[in-house]
Structure 1
Amino acid sequence: MSFSAGPARPADITVPGDGWYPDFNATAMRDALRLTTMVTPERLLGAVQGGMLSVEGELAEWRGECEAEGAASLADVKPERMVAGEHRLTLLYTRAVRMYAAAELAETHRDLTATQDGQARADTEATTAQEYLRMATHAIRDILGTPRTAVELI
């Protein structure tokens, strides 16, 4: 009788930052969100790259202001508040990228079967994607120091 250990753990994937933003550990994202091996390394990499582009695009003006004040990297932005030994803004950046990437994976990984069970799973994934996008928005607003809620008078 032989036992298999299950699928091999995918290789570590680290997506390099641009020098101002930190590198992103996609393997830590896989572990944190309990992504199965159904999410291939290529899909994970693409989603992370998309998440980085989204977050960095939303923070472009803010980054310019930080650089003008002398910050050579995200970790140099003052005040240097730490959470569990890590710079608070680095944690928020990582969270925002992770949530955008997770939303992309949830939106694009639909069960294409026509059964009611498959449709129910697709509906659940859509809700999950919306929740990931909400969490990404919260992280970005926390970085910018803006309220999480937008209210307009009609």
Structure 2
Amino acid sequence: MSGFIPGGLPPSPPVPGVHINSEAFWPSIDLDKLRETLRIDSSVTTARLETAIIAAVISVNRDLAAWREAQQVAGHTSLEAVPSEKIQDQSQLVYLYKRAVECAAGAEVSERYRGYDTTASGNKKADETEPTIDDYRRDQRWAVRDILGTSRTTVELL
């Protein structure tokens, strides 16, 4: 009998076709698309990515709750129905919403996982090329502010 204890199981493959749905007003979030957009590999399990996306959706939906209510009062039943210019036949607002959720989920995943190399040079290279948690949070705020139609910058005189 061996005293060897394995360090863990190999990463499980992503489960295709999983979507996160929230309030009917908002578009669903496709886990595969988000995984591809953020270059999240299979070391982050589908269950853990789903948890990060749910947290992201909650955060973004809370930031936009009053705006959503105003749009619904105006008669818009979905984000897609809110008047907006289109890019590739899709509302800019839909792209911005998905970007806000992607960035919030990216920050969540980055806080808990880190692609790494065992060498110092590999770690330095990862630091230089990967978006930081702050970058993700900034991009999330910008996407939300773009939906709200407010300025991206707040300036305060001291």
Fold-level similarity (TM above 0.5): yes
**8 A contact 2:103–2:140 mirrored in 1:** yes
**1:11-64: per-residue Cα shift (whole Å, max 9, x none)?**
222112321101111110101111111110011000000000000000011111
Judged with a 3 Å threshold, the aligned counterparts in structure 2 of structure 1 residues 67 and 51 are, in CA distance, closer, same or farther, namely: same
Counterpart position of 1:64: 69
Query: 2:18 aligned with 1:18, yes or no?
Result: no
Counterpart position of 1:81: 85
Q: Following TM superposition, by how much is the alpha carbon of 1:124 offset from its aligned partner in structure 2, in angstroms?
A: 3.7
Letter in 2 for 1:106: S
Supply the distance in 2 between the matched residues of 1:142 and 1:9 (Cα, whole angstroms). 35
**8 A contact 2:12–2:45 mirrored in 1:** no
Supply the distance in 1 between the matched residues of 2:114 and 2:92 (Cα, whole angstroms). 34
Counterpart position of 2:8: none
Q: Once superposed, what is the RMSD of the aligned Cα atoms?
A: 2.6
Counterpart position of 1:51: 56
Supply the distance in 2 between the matched residues of 1:21 and 1:95 (Cα, whole angstroms). 13
Supply the distance in 2 between the matched residues of 1:30 and 1:110 (Cα, whole angstroms). 15
**8 A contact 2:110–2:132 mirrored in 1:** yes
Aligned with 2:154 (options 145, 150, 153): 150
Counterpart position of 2:5: none
Aligned with 1:29 (options 34, 50, 55): 34
List alignment gaps of at least 5 residues for structure 1. 1-6
Secondary structure in 2 matching 1:147: coil
Letter in 2 for 1:109: Y
Supply the distance in 1 between the matched residues of 2:30 and 2:131 (Cα, whole angstroms). 25
Supply the distance in 2 between the matched residues of 1:11 and 1:110 (Cα, whole angstroms). 21
Letter in 2 for 1:35: I
**8 A contact 1:17–1:24 mirrored in 2:** no
Q: Aligned residues: percent identity?
A: 35
Counterpart position of 1:133: 137
Letter in 2 for 1:129: I
Supply the distance in 1 between the matched residues of 2:134 and 2:127 (Cα, whole angstroms). 10
Supply the distance in 1 between the matched residues of 2:49 and 2:12 (Cα, whole angstroms). 16
**8 A contact 2:12–2:43 mirrored in 1:** no
Q: Following TM superposition, by how much is the alpha carbon of 1:8 offset from its aligned partner in structure 2, in angstroms?
A: 7.4
**8 A contact 2:22–2:28 mirrored in 1:** yes
Counterpart position of 1:40: 45
Aligned residues: 143
